[in-house]
Structure 1
Amino acid sequence: MSHTAPTDAALVAALRADLTRAGYTADAVRRVWGPVADAATGRGLHGPALRALEGRGDALAVLCRTLFLGTAASVADVDRALPETGARGLAALGLVTVDGDTVTPAVLLRPQDLADAAGAVSWWVVSDLDEAAVGGALPTGHVLGVGGASLTLAGLQLSTPAERVLDLGTGCGIQALRARRAAPQVVATDVSERALRFTELNAALNGLDGIETRHGSLFEPVAGERFDRVVSNPPFVITPRVAGVPEYEYRDAGFAGDDLVAAFVSGVGDVLTSGGTAQLLGNWEYRDGQDGLERVRGWVAASAVPLDAWIVEREQLDPLSYAELWVRDGGTVPGSPEYARLIDAWLDDFAARGVTAIGFGYLLLRRTPIGMPPLARYERVSQPVAGALGPHLGEALAAWDRLGLLDDEALAAATVITASDVTEARHHRPGEEDPTVIELRQGGGFARVLDVDPALAALVGASDGDLPVGVLIDAIADLLGADATALRADLLPRVRELVFTGFLRVA
């Protein structure tokens, strides 16, 4: 796609109508080539899908081959599949090139489903050709399509309404499209003019107004402005700053080590309204024995404005595994001399800073509301999580704010209700009546599993909203023969934790 080509509204409308008429949806694509081929395409292997489409000339098959997989087609086939747009229309939009009777894709245009608290939505997303379509290493100006990381962040986005949202490092614009569902105004920024053109086209193709694009790095394009929410899947990948190592715009912003994420964390407070939130994905280094999460804590402390921080480390890689991940991501073939050279460059870079591991995870930051206690939570959560986390994160923040208004006396006077997704498991040694382990399991949220003692298990089991927490604790103390005052001092902080993490809610 030409980075200077303006978006032709009439052609885009024609393409939208053609795609709708052809039934070019994610579900339809999966049905066309079946589950095995679908899994293969997710791994960058197009062979099974192409074999499944062999001999088919219907519109959906043509679109799958040409727009999803990036293989050439005839002008006649494309004209039949997209009667209003035609091959020439796609070329005018910069999506293909036409040479004689051959249509060669210049980009991918793929259907994408997304579900959040507002319901399910289907989009079409245009991005650059992937490795399988290119047939080798990606160009450094590559604009990435919708991948696992971008879907993760889309699912993390808070679903509560906002007025203005900043999507920093928008790429193909998937986060901007997602943010537009919660806010009437979205500003999408990127250092890549090409990425901004993709974002504009994707907004137009899906009939979304209210998305403004701006060119620039970090917060420069929005200096002096304020937003209720900032979302970012920034180019956080740690890349050696040496000659001969490709610098991919979609993953590398030219910063050394984890300095990009540090700059985001320490600077985002300046563009947030009071109570405004920022959400991003990021990497952080473990250096010379220093805990990576403590590094993030230092970045939060460096903010000029007070920030709440909820940092969740989801994964930790050693330097070699990290290097292999991103060298492969660029399309360099394992086992080749170039692969070995790039791996050495990564390892030398990590060794120079004393890096022993690299953490990856989610960062939720908030400009601390005036008069509220700050949130500072740094944790490791490695278990699989099902579904979008955005609603859970929003409920946790609301719970934190409500708990901040309740001292221990007020909490004891409140009633709480056990969440409907919480179950209890008890483990007994053979022949013993009393359990040796009692677990509370969370079906939603972060799917936490907590070991609890009989007193807390009894409190959670009795929390149906009828009796205040303090009354329940007194009854449990009497049942266990414990001191009621001591039991309150023990259980009330843990009740706060269970309310924040979603096991309990204040009635």
Structure 2
Amino acid sequence: MTAVSDTLAPVPDPLHSAALAADLDAADLRSEPLRRLWGEEADDALARGMREPILRAIADDTGALATLGRLFVLGMTQPREPVAAALPRLGVDGLVALRLATVDADTVTPTALLRPQSFVDADGVGEWWIASDLDEVALDGALPDDHVLGVGGASRTLAETIVPIEVDRALDLGTGCGIQALLVARRAGRVIATDISARALAFAELNAHLNGVANIEFRQGSMFEPVAGEAFDLIVSNPPFVITPRVDGVPAYEYRDGGLVGDALVEQFVRTAPTFLTENGIVQLLGNWESKAGVGGLARLEAWVPAELDLWVIEREELSPLGYAELWIRDGGTTPRDSGFTPLLTAWLDDFAARGVTSIGFGYVLMRRGSSGDPLRRTEKIGQHVSNVGAALATGLAAYDVLTQGMPATLTVAADVTEARHLLPGNDDPSVIELRQGGGFSRTIAVDPALAGLVGACDGELTVGQIVAALADLFDVPLAELWADLEPRIRALILDGILLPGE
């Protein structure tokens, strides 16, 4: 079993945090200045676990930005004098008081990383400083069980999926380093951030102080225990959903492992979360779900969600047991070259085989406590590139609400939609007509000439009824017959954000 961290959690003191933030700002410790300092290629190499290109690029640079880059971004020991010069307000003693470093007479050794993290939301582009535990590159080995992760791929994915709505009260369950709480706090009156890990909460509170965010309250506890009896307009969670064998010798990393068997933690979450929602409140989370015993993962997940809730699940990828095991063993810092890799792989594969698991899905889950008598139930697999997912989900929910009241009188085509027609050589009639969505879920939808004609005429001026009547005359088809064919497909295009309801 991997040992716990041998460094103490940070002390999120507001005054010291403010002094550190002022020093970081003065040194311009931000993504673009760092990228310019050591070059794009070296910056990209760091994302792949290589820091040598950066060290070569700034080998002779003792300025504040280079010094803090080596100390905080790479997690490397630095001479005391240039560190003190780079932190004139906080000082080396203040850095020690925050428990972000240890010092001796000549050197400063970081005990945490502190990296700039950019973000984009409906309000524009911004950047935060995010402190977290030293990663496997800085540690040069496997991670401790109580490791507090910085902003990883899953964190970025969840941040991109959160619907951009203004809310009174929000909950970030399993906050980790606090990145989701910071994001949600931009649109919430009050955010409660919880975690079972006191160490994670210390980092999250420090990050709130560093970035001047004051509307977050931090509480320790498992799952929904810290908020018993409360209700929220928005709940977001990147829970510890990673499926881990429950056997000796397999590390139980707090940041990713909830301690349950298989996908039971995701099941428990989606069954429980709705009781903590206000009317029209939304839950969004990432998760894994297993296909087993002949039942697909999406079908199992849908069965866990109360029937009266709106549900929209998007599966982004599906892995075999072998692919899944290798992914998460490597995530913990163990590679096939290490002696511990094969025993871990065996434990994972034995666990999946014993429980009849054939594949593992990953994706996003959105649930909403709506007032409609006919809840949205949508599960789909989307493997293509996506962008601005939160806005796309919000558009889809709004469209569904409109459709529950009937077909909109007028429609317009979304600005990012284009049409592609494929013709065989020498043939004037297209063999394939496609509508292509430039943003959101980047859907490509095959349509026939009648539906393509309707979409092309949706300018917000003519009513849907007028367009369909004209098409019926054009194609010499009975109006009732054409409407019966087009109506469900028009509704699907509205739900997909291809067609937008008129004002």
TM-score band (shorter)?
over 0.9
1:19 is matched with 24
CA RMSD, aligned part only?
A: 1.2
- Contact map agreement 1:282 1:360 (CA 8 A) in 2: yes
Q: Deviations over 1:132-171 (max 9, x none)?
A: 0000000000000011110111111111100111000000
- In the alignment, is residue 212 of structure 1 matched against residue 217 of structure 2? yes
What is the aligned partner in structure 2 of residue 376 from structure 1?
A: 377
In structure 1, stretches of 5+ residues that fail to align are: none
8 Å CA contact retained: 2:101, 2:110: yes
Q: Which residue of 1 aligns with 2:240?
A: 235
Aligned match for 2:74, one of 58, 69, 72: 69
Report the equivalent of 1:332.
Answer: 334
Which residue of 1 is the match for residue 402 of structure 2?
402
CA distance in structure 2 between the aligned counterparts of 1:187 and 1:27, rounded to whole angstroms = 31
Identify the residue that residue 313 of structure 1 maps to in structure 2: 315
Separation in 1 of the partners of 2:460 and 2:93? 65
**Structure 1 CA distance for aligned equivalents of residues 133 and 10 of structure 2:** 15
| Partner of residue 424, structure 2 | 429
Tell me whether 5-14 or 349-358 shows the greater mean CA deviation.
Answer: 5-14
Counterparts of 2:349 and 2:335, CA distance in 1:
18
Q: Distance in 2 between matches of 1:116 and 1:134?
A: 33
SS in 1 for 2:278: strand
* 1:9 CA drift (Å): 2.0
- Which residue number corresponds to residue 392 of structure 2? 392
Q: Is the 8 A contact 2:160 2:389 kept in 1?
A: yes
What number of residue pairs does the alignment pair up?
497
3-state SS of the aligned residue for 1:163? strand
Structure 2 distance, partners of 1:169, 1:22, is: 32
- Measured in 1, the distance between the counterparts of 2:25 and 2:501 equals 46
Structure 1 segment 169-184 matched on structure 2, within 5 A: 169-184=174-189
Question: 2: distance between equivalents of 1:281 and 1:10?
Answer: 35
Partner of 2:355: 353
Q: Could you say which residue in structure 1 is the equivalent of 2:438?
A: 443
Structure 1 runs (4+) greater than 3 angstroms displaced: 1-6
1:6 deviates by 4.0
Q: Which residue, 395, 411, 415 being the options, matches 1:416?
A: 411
Aligned position for 1:479 = 474
Kindly indicate whether the alpha-carbon contact (under 8 Å) linking 1:3 and 1:197 is maintained by their aligned counterparts in 2: no
- Alignment of 1:50 with 2:52, yes or no, is no
For residues 410-440 of structure 1, the C-alpha deviation after alignment (integer angstroms, 9 at most, x for no partner) is 54xx000001110000011111111111000
Provide the rounded CA distance (Å) in 2 between the counterparts of 1:6 and 1:357.
42
User: What is the CA-CA distance between 1:333 and the residue it aligns to?
Assistant: 2.4
* Aligned-pair identity (%): 55
Counterpart secondary structure, 1:263: helix
Contact 1:230 1:278 (8 Å CA) reproduced: yes
Cα drift, residue 273 of structure 1: 0.6
Measure the CA separation in 2 of the matches of 1:318 and 1:500: 31
| 1-structure distance, mates of 2:289, 2:372 | 31
8 A Cα contact 2:11 2:97, kept in partner: no
- Normalization by structure 1: what TM-score? 0.96
Equivalent AA in structure 2 for residue 378 of structure 1? T
Partner of residue 366, structure 1? 368
What secondary structure is seen at the aligned counterpart in 1 of 2:39?
helix
What is the distance in 2 between the residues matched to 1:335 and 1:11?
Answer: 42
Alpha-carbon distance in structure 2 between the residues aligned to 1:182 and 1:503: 27
- List runs of 5+ in structure 2 lacking aligned partners: none
Query: Is the 1:68–1:108 contact (alpha carbons within 8 Å) kept by the matching residues of 2?
Result: yes
Corresponding letter in the other structure for 2:313: I
Determine helix, strand or coil for the equivalent of 1:250: coil
CA distance in 1, matches of 2:338, 2:47: 24
Structure 1 residue 494: Cα displacement: 1.2
Do the aligned residues in 1 keep the contact of 2:292 with 2:356 (CA within 8 Å)?
yes
CA offset at residue 8 of structure 1? 2.3
Rounded to whole Å, the distance in 1 between the matches of 2:467 and 2:436 is 21
Task: Give the Cα separation in 1 of the matches to 2:373 and 2:281.
Answer: 13
> TM-score of the superposition, structure 2-length normalised?
0.97
Partner of 2:205: 200
| One-letter identity of the residue aligned with 2:314 | V
Question: What's the counterpart of residue 463 of structure 2?
Answer: 468
Q: Which amino acid aligns with 2:449?
A: P
* Letter of the structure 1 residue corresponding to residue 395 of structure 2: E
Is the contact between residue 9 and residue 99 of structure 2 (CA under 8 Å) also seen in structure 1? no
| Aligned 8 A contact 1:189 1:221 in 2 | yes
- Classify the secondary structure of the residue corresponding to 2:188: coil
The worse-fitting range, judged by mean Cα deviation, of 476-485 and 65-74 is 476-485
Distance 2:164 2:282 in 1: 12
Cα distance in 1 between the residues matched to 2:100 and 2:59: 23
The secondary structure found in structure 2 opposite 1:70 is coil
